[in-house]
Amino acid sequence: MIKTVFSIDLPVLENMHILKNRIEPLSLTGNEKRVCIVTGIHGDELEGQYICYEIIRRIKANIQNLHGIIDIYPSLNPLVWIL
């Protein structure tokens, strides 16, 4: 489930959205542990976004083995400031 956790209006009619991708087990018990994976802190570093893609792909391919909740923020700071 992809959810917008933060949104702000920027100058020049732009918006910034921080998205979270949550992956949950097929059946929830209420006692699941949770891990959060955050990448994209510097905005222009794409390796972390690729790692998030691979993590999501591999977990979804083996979703029956998932026993916890995973929150993935693939691009926490999507803005790139070049001086």
CA distances (Å), 47 to each of 7, 25, 29, 55, in order?
Answer: 24, 26, 34, 12
- Indicate the domain borders of the chain: 2-73
Question: Which residue stretches of the chain are H helix?
Answer: 47-61
pLDDT(80) > 70: no
pLDDT(82) > 50: no
In sequence order, the 6+-apart residues with CB closer than 8 A to the CB of 41 are 48, 76, 77
Give the pLDDT of residue 74.
84
Chain segment 5-56, per-residue pLDDT in tens = 988 888 888 888 888 999 999 999 999 999 999 988 876 678 888 999 999 9
Closest to 37 in 3D by CA, of 1, 71, 77: 71
